Structure 1
Amino acid sequence: MPGLELDLITNTTKSDSNTTPDRSAILRRGLRLEYLSVGWNLVEGGIAIGAGLVAASVALIGFGVDSFVESASASVIVWRIISENRNKMKPDKILSIEKQAQKLVAISLLIFGLFLLFESISSLAAREQPDVSQIGMILAVLSICVMWWIARSIRQVGKQLHSHAIEADATQTLACWWMSISLLIGLGLNATFGWWWADPLAGIVISILMLREARNAWNGQDCCNL
């Protein structure tokens, strides 16, 4: 990633009076956002998996697993930010940690995507009809409201730091937002019309999206725009 390396060198070699305070402030904001992301997703994941098991909803269970994967991804970015902020590292060291963090984010996306794809196809083939889950629908609405803001805020930090790893994490958060919409549609169609297949179909669509984002994150590509 030559462009990333050049940006890192440029940012780090400017005068400390002009750049160091700004970058440190951005790092602190990024850290707060990632802590928020970890906390929110742990709570969300626990509720979603519990509600999914009760309702036999593969989409809800998959949504909960995604929340835990998102927490793991955010934890990787916490490590990346703390490593730079505490050690005041040189550009080449920042770049090395950046690449490691980005690979770990990609792996977490891949694991979740494959898991959800398998579970969704299995549920569709078995014609498993989930029960109505009002808790799941309320959770999806809350997630739609929260995850959009978190994704945009994290992506802004990633752009300011010229960090593809942080931007990839924002992409995963945005994918979680899309999944919240898909989850709400699937649960809503099942509750309103009894369309049981809407639940696993929503899972398949999101799993394909996640696998694509895993590939892009691994290759260091900018996955999507917010």
Structure 2
Amino acid sequence: MNEDVALAPARKAVLSRRVRLLVAATIAYNVVEAVVAIAAGTVASSTALIGFGLDSVVEVASATAVAWQFSGTDPEARERVALRVIAVSFFALAAYVTVEAVRSLLGGEPAAHSTVGIVLAAVSLAVMPGLSYAQRRAGRELGSASAVADSKQTLLCTYLSGILLVGLLLNSLLGWWWADPVVALAIAVVAVREGREAWRGDHCC
């Protein structure tokens, strides 16, 4: 927590409650997103789409860690553990996606067109920025590195949605099959960077 700014207890309670509500909304959306993305990615043999779905699983783990932190009477005492969970989740995602993307590139197996994946990426591109901004704003005022880290996890989903959308469209419209695993590798690189920041607690404020 940022100790330089003292918040009134009433304001602190309001912000904590807001973070919990935003975290709950993030979890609910990402559960749906993960199921749809992984199912569509499996059908289309799309490493990028499956990786996007797994990122949603990571976001659920991250948001759950923050929800656990703020469910206690002393969130500050739980912050370091929450940050570690967020970081490890990022690293696990990066490792899996990298392996699958390299296998796809070496094997040359093209991903099929996925209308469901394209629609999902477009919807996430519209929904995620608002959730991320609201949580980041509340987390910064509260001085919570874990809340800000989780908001960046949500913002990462926005970037990945855009990258995924481009990759799926290139594959569908131009037949650039290699765009799918390349996009997956981009997802892995960003995940490693965010994981390192979470591990160091560099997200606040």
What TM-score does the superposition give when structure 2 sets the normalisation length? 0.95
> Which residue of structure 1 lines up, in the alignment, with residue 107 of structure 2?
126
Q: Quote the sequence identity (%).
A: 37
> Which residue of structure 2 lines up, in the alignment, with residue 16 of structure 1?
none
Task: Count residues with an aligned counterpart.
Answer: 205
Distance 1:11 1:82 in 2: 21
> Which residue of structure 2 lines up, in the alignment, with residue 185 of structure 1?
166
1:145 aligns with 2:129: no
Runs of 4+ in 1 over 3 A off after TM superposition: none
1:39 aligns with 2:20: no
Distance 2:2 2:136 in 1: 19
- Describe the SS at the equivalent of 1:11: coil
- Describe the SS at the equivalent of 1:130: coil
Pick from 3, 6, 11 the counterpart of residue 3 of structure 2.
6
1:117 Cα deviation after fit: 1.3
Greater RCO structure (CA 8 Å; 6+ sep): 2
1:69 aligns with 2:58: yes
1:6 Cα deviation after fit: 2.9
CA deviations 1:107-146 (Å, max 9, x no partner) are: 1111111111111111111111010000100000000011
CA deviations 1:39-88 (Å, max 9, x no partner) are: 000001000011011111001111111111111110111111111xxx2x
> Which residue of structure 1 lines up, in the alignment, with residue 199 of structure 2?
218
> Which residue of structure 2 lines up, in the alignment, with residue 15 of structure 1?
none
CA deviations 1:11-39 (Å, max 9, x no partner) are: 26xxxxxx111111111111110000000
What TM-score does the superposition give when structure 1 sets the normalisation length? 0.87
> Which residue of structure 2 lines up, in the alignment, with residue 24 of structure 1?
13
1:5 Cα deviation after fit: 5.5
1:96 Cα deviation after fit: 2.6
Which entry has the higher C-alpha Rg, 1 or 2?
Answer: 1
1:166 aligns with 2:155: no
Distance 2:68 2:195 in 1: 20
Distance 1:214 1:195 in 2: 30
State the Cα RMSD in Å: 1.5
1:211 Cα deviation after fit: 0.3
Structure 1 residues 5 and 141, CA gap change in structure 2 (3 angstroms): closer
1:103 Cα deviation after fit: 1.0
Given that residues 102 and 181 in structure 2 are in contact (C-alpha distance below 8 angstroms), is that contact kept between their aligned partners in structure 1?
A: yes
> Which residue of structure 2 lines up, in the alignment, with residue 111 of structure 1?
92
Given that residues 5 and 95 in structure 1 are in contact (C-alpha distance below 8 angstroms), is that contact kept between their aligned partners in structure 2?
A: no
- Describe the SS at the equivalent of 2:109: coil
User: 5+ unaligned residues in a row in structure 2: which ranges?
Assistant: none
Opposite residue 123 of structure 2, the aligned amino acid is: L
1:159 Cα deviation after fit: 0.1
- Describe the SS at the equivalent of 1:129: coil
Distance 2:141 2:65 in 1: 19
Distance 2:36 2:2 in 1: 41
Distance 1:148 1:168 in 2: 14
Opposite residue 116 of structure 1, the aligned amino acid is: V
Distance 2:24 2:152 in 1: 17
Given that residues 97 and 184 in structure 2 are in contact (C-alpha distance below 8 angstroms), is that contact kept between their aligned partners in structure 1?
A: yes
